[in-house]
Structure 1
């Protein structure tokens, strides 16, 4: 891959990563609840999903999913239902001892956040369809395909980790700092819950 093509890839990846979606909401929620540093676990789960989706596209299975309305709809509705579940769970999370305080999730394990991040991104068939349309423009059929896909995968992951952690996670942490009261934190839980549900509805209706 030439440097000019790589710079184009980098610019496209930045635009994609800065576009708000389920991954951004998940990252901000984690940063709000467990802190900036530990939110990286959810981000790594999201990157694992991106790499799996890239492998699916590289193997040609993405084209099967894109051309099969049934397969696409199954993944789409499962993803929408999962996002809706996350949103409802966040909205209905009870306060400690029944008061207005939000449930303490600061001790959530890294594995739990990783798995949630994995499913948030993996159950999004739009990502596979997008990669099918996006990747061919950066792949030359007459050159080494594994190397090209490796460069593309590393670039996508590096950019997404940077944007998610140094922008969306910091944004979520900023919310935590300006909402010191239990009532304010509770309102943020409801807000992020509604955002999860909104993204799920968009996924279901797309």
Structure 2
């Protein structure tokens, strides 16, 4: 369905795209530190579900859909930025533990929902996919199937790279001493708040 000659360069490009930390990586790391590797992997599931919806929008290529999403970008972006800052503040002010919700664990569904929301809150992800994926499409063949395959590849690469972050952060929480837990919580909180501010300041391309 896609030209085999472009597969390797495309995967390398996807790898470079996925390795660059962004708001999604920040929340994956923060959740992994707070709730363990499983929490990070569930967060990744949420980000990938949202990315699949973005790939589907790009594959459809409907101007009406893209116009609607573009018009909603500012609201989605600001809501997501505020959410990141709120999570970061909760972690920054936590007292001696990494759990975001004192006294109770977050539900698995909430980790998934959180990952999806944060990823959708970054409009540049959709803009990047809409500009990036068509570059590898053979115009002599139907575009929808090619874009979906290309999208699944970039999702697979992103899942692997994000999983590395989740595993590393999940393992790190088990070797932390009590004296360092608060410091890690504060650092994670600062990273999330910085990611929220960065997201809010981004201009639509």
Shorter-normalised TM range = 0.7 to 0.9
2:182 matched to 1:179? no
> For residue 14 of structure 1, what is the aligned residue in structure 2?
15
Which one of 180, 195, 199 corresponds to residue 191 of structure 2? Answer: 195
5+ residue gaps, structure 2, are none
How far apart, CA to CA, are the structure 1 residues paired with 2:67 and 2:100?
A: 43
How far apart, CA to CA, are the structure 1 residues paired with 2:185 and 2:158?
A: 24
- In the superposition, the TM-score normalised over structure 2's length comes to 0.85
How far apart, CA to CA, are the structure 2 residues paired with 1:101 and 1:196?
A: 17
How far apart, CA to CA, are the structure 2 residues paired with 1:104 and 1:81?
A: 16
Which one of 119, 122, 130 corresponds to residue 121 of structure 1? Answer: 119
- Native 8 Å contact 2:59 2:148 kept in 1: no
CA RMSD across the alignment: 2.2
5+ residue gaps, structure 1, are none
**CA deviation profile, 1:69-116 (whole Å, cap 9, x unmatched):** x533222222211211221122233x3xxxx34447684322111011
How far apart, CA to CA, are the structure 2 residues paired with 1:101 and 1:85?
A: 17
Give 1:184 shift. 1.2
- In the superposition, the TM-score normalised over structure 1's length comes to 0.85
